[in-house]
Chains A and B, each alone.
Chain A
Amino acid sequence: MIRDITIGQYYPARSVIHRLDPRVKIICTLLFLISLFIQRSILGYLIATIFLGMVIYTSRVPLKYILKGLKPIIMLLLVTVLFTLFLTREGEELFHFWIFNITDKGLNISAYTAIRLIYLIMGSSIMTFTTTPNALTDGIERVLHPLNRVKVPVHEVAMMMSIALRFIPILLEETDKIMKAQIARGADLESGNMIQRVKAMIPVLVPLFVSAFRRANDLALAMEARCYRGGEGRTKMKPLVYRAKDYLAYAVIVLYMMLIFFVGRFVPFHIWIF
Chain B
Amino acid sequence: MSIKLEHLNYVYSPGTAYEKQALKDINLEIPQGEFVGIIGHTGSGKSTLIQHFNGLLKASGGALYYNGENIYGDGYNMKQLRSQVGLVFQYPEHQLFEVDVLSDVCFGPKNQGLSSEECEKRAREALELVGFPEKYYRQSPFELSGGQKRRAAIAGVLAMRPSVLVLDEPTAGLDPKGRDDILNQVEHLHKNTNMTVILVSHSMEDIARYVDRIIVMNQGEKMFDGKPKKVFSHYRDLEKVGLAAPRVTYIMHALKARGMNVRTDATTVEEAAKEIIRSFHD
- Show the binding face of A for B, using Cβ within 8 Å: 174, 177-178, 180-188, 202-203, 206-207, 210-211
Which residue in A174, A178, A185, A207 is a CB contact (below 8 Å) of B108? A185
Q: Which residues of A contact B82 (CB under 8 A)?
A: 183-186
Task: For residue A256, give the distance in angstroms from its CB to the closest CB of chain B.
Answer: 36
User: Main secondary structure on chain A at its contact with chain B?
Assistant: helix
Which residue in A180, A186, A202 is a CB contact (below 8 Å) of B111? A186
B72-84 near A? 1/0 per residue, CB < 8 Å: 0000000100110
| Complex contact A211–B56 (CB within 8 A) | no
Which residue in A178, A180, A203, A206 is a CB contact (below 8 Å) of B51? A180
**Other than the known A183-B82, A186-B82, what 18 A-B pairs have Cβ atoms closer than 8 Å?**
A178-B95, A180-B51, A181-B94, A182-B107, A184-B89, A184-B157, A185-B108, A185-B111, A186-B83, A188-B111, A202-B97, A206-B97, A207-B95, A207-B97, A210-B94, A210-B97, A210-B142, A211-B94
- Closest residue of B by beta carbon distance from A3: B16
Task: For residue A251, give the distance in angstroms from its CB to the closest CB of chain B.
Answer: 38
Q: With A207-B95, A210-B142 known to touch, is A184 a contact of B87 (CB < 8 Å)?
A: yes
Q: Which residues of A contact B92 (CB under 8 A)?
A: 181
Q: Which residues of A contact B39 (CB under 8 A)?
A: none
Q: Which residues of A contact B142 (CB under 8 A)?
A: 210
Size of interface on B: residues with Cβ below 8 Å to A: 22
Residue among A174, A184, A188 with the most chain B CB within 10 A? A184
Give 15 pairs: A residue, B residue, CB < 8 Å, sorted on A: A174-B94, A177-B89, A181-B94, A181-B95, A182-B95, A183-B82, A184-B86, A185-B156, A186-B79, A186-B82, A186-B83, A202-B97, A207-B96, A210-B94, A210-B97
Task: Enumerate the 7 nearest inter-chain pairs by beta-carbon distance, A residue then B residue, closest first.
Answer: A186-B111, A206-B97, A181-B95, A184-B87, A185-B108, A181-B89, A203-B97
Q: How far is the CA of A210 from the CA of B108 in the complex (A)?
A: 20
| Complex contact A207–B94 (CB within 8 A) | yes
Q: Which residues of A contact B97 (CB under 8 A)?
A: 202-203, 206-207, 210
Q: With A178-B94, A207-B96 known to touch, is A185 a contact of B160 (CB < 8 Å)?
A: yes
Q: How far is the CA of A207 from the CA of B54 in the complex (A)?
A: 22
Q: Which residues of B contact A210 (CB under 8 A)?
A: 94, 97, 142
Residue among B83, B87, B111 with the most chain A CB within 10 A? B111
Judge whether B67 is part of the interface by a CB distance below 8 angstroms.
no
Judge whether B279 is part of the interface by a CB distance below 8 angstroms.
no
| Complex contact A187–B86 (CB within 8 A) | no
Q: Which of B204-252 contact A (CB under 8 A)?
A: none
Q: With A210-B142, A211-B94 known to touch, is A183 a contact of B56 (CB < 8 Å)?
A: yes
Q: Which residues of A contact B95 (CB under 8 A)?
A: 178, 181-182, 185, 203, 207
Judge whether B194 is part of the interface by a CB distance below 8 angstroms.
no
Task: For residue B112, give the distance in angstroms from its CB to the closest CB of chain A.
Answer: 6
Q: Which residues of B contact A186 (CB under 8 A)?
A: 79, 82-83, 107-108, 111-112, 160
Q: Which residues of B contact A211 (CB under 8 A)?
A: 94
Q: Which of B59-103 contact A (CB under 8 A)?
A: 79, 82-83, 86-87, 89, 92, 94-97
Q: Which residues of A contact B156 (CB under 8 A)?
A: 185
Task: For residue B135, give the distance in angstroms from its CB to the closest CB of chain A.
Answer: 23
